[in-house]
Every structure is written in C-alpha cells, then in structure tokens.
Amino acid sequence: MKVAILGIDGYIGWALAMRLAEHGKNVIGVDSFYTRKRVKEVGSDSLLPITTLDERLKTFEERSGKKIEFAGGDVNDPDFMLEFVKKERPDAYVHLAEQRSAPYSMIGLTQARETLIQNMGGTINLVYAMKEYTPDAHLLKLGTMGEYGTPNIDIPEGFFEIDYKGRHDRLPFPKSAGSWYHWSKVHDTNNLMFANKVWGLKITDVMQGVVYGTRTKEITKYGIPTRFDFDEVWGTALNRFCTQASIGIPLTAYGKGEQRRGYLSLEDSITCLELGLDKPPKTGEYRVYNQFDEHYSINELTALVAERGEKIFGRHIDVSHIDNPRVEQDQHYYNPEHMKLKELGYKPSRNLYEDIDEILADVNDNRERALKYRDCIMPKTVWRKSISK
C-alpha cells in the first residue's frame, strides 16, 4: 500500500510515517515546513529537539533499513497537489497538513484568513486531485473533536438519527466550534461530505481528541523524536503543564478548569490511523470516527501533573487559575460516543496515568530549552481581542 502523509514533518505525521514504514507500507511524505516556521515566529521551538526532516529521514533509513520518500510543497498550491497526485498515485492519503493552532487562528484577521483559506484550500485541492487521478483511493482526514463543541446532549460519531415534529431523518450532527481553526475543520468536514456525495470519494473523517505523549514504539526503537510544542500558541494545555512543572513555575489553568475534552496517546493515535488505512471505508462511503479514549478536565490534568511532578522533581508545584483567554463554557456536559474504532478492532494500549511519568521525564531532559523559551508560555492571544490587522 502506497500512503501519502501530508504534513509528515508534524507531531503526528512523523510518528505515523515511521510506523507505516516499519510495517512495510510504502510511504511518501509532503510538507511545506509551515509549522516549524510559524513556531519560530512566536519565539518558540519544539521542546524536544528535532533535526531537519532530511536528517530524520536519513537517520531513519540508516537505523531501520527502510526508506521514506518526500516531496516538498504546499497542499494549498493547486498545481503542486495536482502534479503530486498525478505522479505518485497513492492508494491512500493521510491529510495532516493544516494550520493546527486555535490560538494562532485567533491572533487577528491575517491569521484567521490564513487558517480558514489554507486549510480549506488544501483539502479542496486534494479532493479534486483524487477525483481526477486516484478516484478509488482512500482519504483519511484529520478533523478534531473540537468540531462538536460542548452540546448538552450526547455526541454521536458524525451522524445522528433524529425525530423532529413527527418525522425522522439521519443528519450530520450540528457543529459548534470554538475558534477559526476549529471552524476550518468543520468547513473541511462539510466539503468532504459533499466531495463524497458528488464524486463518491472514499473518505474517513477522524474527529480526534487531544493527543499527548512523546514516545511511540518507533520513536523509542530508533531514537528519533517527534516535535513537542508547549508555548501558548502551538502547545497543548497538558504540554504546557508538564513544561511548567519541570521549570518550577505554577501550572496555569485557564478559567475554572472544568473544561473537559477527549484525549488519547500518540502511540494509540497512530495505531488508530493505521487501522483506518488497513480497514478502509467501502466504495463510495464517507465515515466518521470519534478518535479518543479518555476524557479529562483541565483540573484533572493539573492535579495529575502536580502530583506526579512533585513526586519526580521533589518540590511543591502550584496551580493557578488565570482569566480564560478563550471563549468557551467553563462547565458543561460532555459525553461523546467512540465505538466505531473499537468495532474495527482497536484496543487502547496506553492511558495518561501510565504515560505521564515518561512525558515529564522527556520534558525534564530538555529543561534548559524550556527555560530558554519560557516567555512563550503565558497567553497573549485573547479570543475577544482578536485584532483587525
């Protein structure tokens, strides 16, 4: 199976590329190094040091004996995408090549436009290229659980059966995203449903929870880390807490800390993605998974990091609640379904309570880098103050 990984240089992309190559798949990656560039612009960097993609590919080949191909380019460039697909004709695509930061999308108009236009444009280019040159290929597209927002009812996997005023239908679940980034993923989802409807493209739309962790089997085996972002723009809350614990500053929970989200480990994320590739949808099918195993509130995360951090680092760790820069419900119902991957045979192998110590250890090994970039930790991007520039 020839798999194109769009966004191979990213956190999930790199881990997934090694996994698929390790398992004998023919992998070709695409990247424009957008994330590296944008992270540098906010004065930050990956906490775990990563070499250039060329060097990582070379090291991986030396250590594993397996070659991963690469094509540099921007998925939002129609000519590049059409040429790439025409030339390479992959059997499957994993599309991770999107602007993936909610705070970045909320900095101002420039970033809002960039996020909405690039993410939508790349996905549109891809479906047109697929329809033209690889109409039977499988597109596995990364969405986010954040597309759903936090409704007061259970969240199904993409579609739900409803009765309304005496009649019945199966409809897409209405989305309520919380940033331009999250909305860009909703727009993609809508566009993918339509590409499936008019051209019958085979699509898996993955509503993924927050991914955590620094290690996968291949990262450990070959000693080639994937990126780990912790700054206010590009990092996750958990990554921020681990970094704060390591350098001895209070963990900063946004607002009341009762915001609850779905999570899964990086190891399990790439296991799920490979499973999706190995068990593709039927011809003409558009399917949606909710891809997460656990859910935690922010307060549960800070409590866990504080407890384990105190144990490992041997000092007291404070938790402070700061004004929430986002516009989100502080307290809400949260019960998303997630059965479809299990029905395909997926079994979770990790959980955060088991992984937290190794994350803290890997972060602490890079304490000096965290101190160097510590000015990037506190929130500067405020949803209500998104600027018109």
Residues classed as catalytic = 144, 181, 185
Measured at the CA of 53, the angle between CA 352 and CA 12, to 5 degrees, comes to 25
The whole-angstrom separation of Cα 179 and Cα 385 is 13
Question: Which two tokens mark 376?
Answer: 């990037």
Select from 22, 88, 121, 275 the one that contacts a second copy (CB under 8 A).
121
Q: Which stretch binds a second copy (CB under 8 A): 134-142, 156-164, 218-226, 369-377?
A: 156-164
Q: Which residue has the tokens 């899964």?
A: 264
CB of 78 to a second copy, least distance (A): 6
Beta carbon nearer to a second copy, 159 or 313: 159
Helix (H) or strand (E) holding 319: strand 319-322
Select from 78, 248, 250, 255 the one that contacts a second copy (CB under 8 A).
78
Q: Could you tell me if 4 and 92 are in contact, meaning their C-beta atoms sit under 8 angstroms apart? A: yes
- Write out the binding residues for a second copy, residues 6-25 only, by CB under 8 A: none
State how far Cα 94 lies from the chain centre.
Answer: 12
Select from 128, 250, 255, 367 the one that contacts a second copy (CB under 8 A).
128
Q: Could you tell me if 229 and 210 are in contact, meaning their C-beta atoms sit under 8 angstroms apart? A: no
Q: Could you tell me if 158 and 148 are in contact, meaning their C-beta atoms sit under 8 angstroms apart? A: no
Residue 330 touches a second copy, criterion: CB under 8 A: no
Select from 116, 247, 275, 344 the one that contacts a second copy (CB under 8 A).
116
Select from 162, 322, 339, 371 the one that contacts a second copy (CB under 8 A).
162
Question: Which two tokens mark 78?
Answer: 């129609």
Q: Which stretch binds a second copy (CB under 8 A): 121-129, 227-235, 245-253, 312-320?
A: 121-129
- Pairing state of beta strands 159-164 and 294-297? unpaired
Residue 348 touches a second copy, criterion: CB under 8 A: no
Residue 250 touches a second copy, criterion: CB under 8 A: no
Residue 183 touches a second copy, criterion: CB under 8 A: yes
Q: Which stretch binds a second copy (CB under 8 A): 103-111, 250-258, 339-347, 365-373?
A: 103-111
Residue 180 touches a second copy, criterion: CB under 8 A: yes
Select from 66, 199, 249, 312 the one that contacts a second copy (CB under 8 A).
199
CB of 141 to a second copy, least distance (A): 16
Query: Please, which residues have CB within 8 angstroms of residue 336's CB and are 6 or more apart in sequence?
Result: 145, 148, 154, 155, 262, 290, 292, 295
Question: Which two tokens mark 246?
Answer: 């390591």
Amino acid at 270: I
CB environment 236-250: b (16+ within 10 A), e (fewer): bbbbbbbbbbbbebb
The whole-angstrom separation of Cα 67 and Cα 317 is 44
Q: Which stretch binds a second copy (CB under 8 A): 35-43, 148-156, 342-350, 354-362?
A: 148-156
Measured at the CA of 360, the angle between CA 329 and CA 52, to 5 degrees, comes to 95
Any bridge partners for residue 4, and if so which? 28, 93
Select from 33, 52, 67, 109 the one that contacts a second copy (CB under 8 A).
109
Q: Which stretch binds a second copy (CB under 8 A): 52-60, 63-71, 119-127, 264-272?
A: 119-127
Q: Which residues bind a second copy (CB under 8 A)?
A: 78, 82, 108-110, 112-113, 116-117, 120-121, 124-125, 128-129, 131-133, 151-154, 160, 162-165, 167-169, 171-178, 180, 183, 186-187, 190-191, 193-194, 197-199, 327, 333, 383-384, 386-388
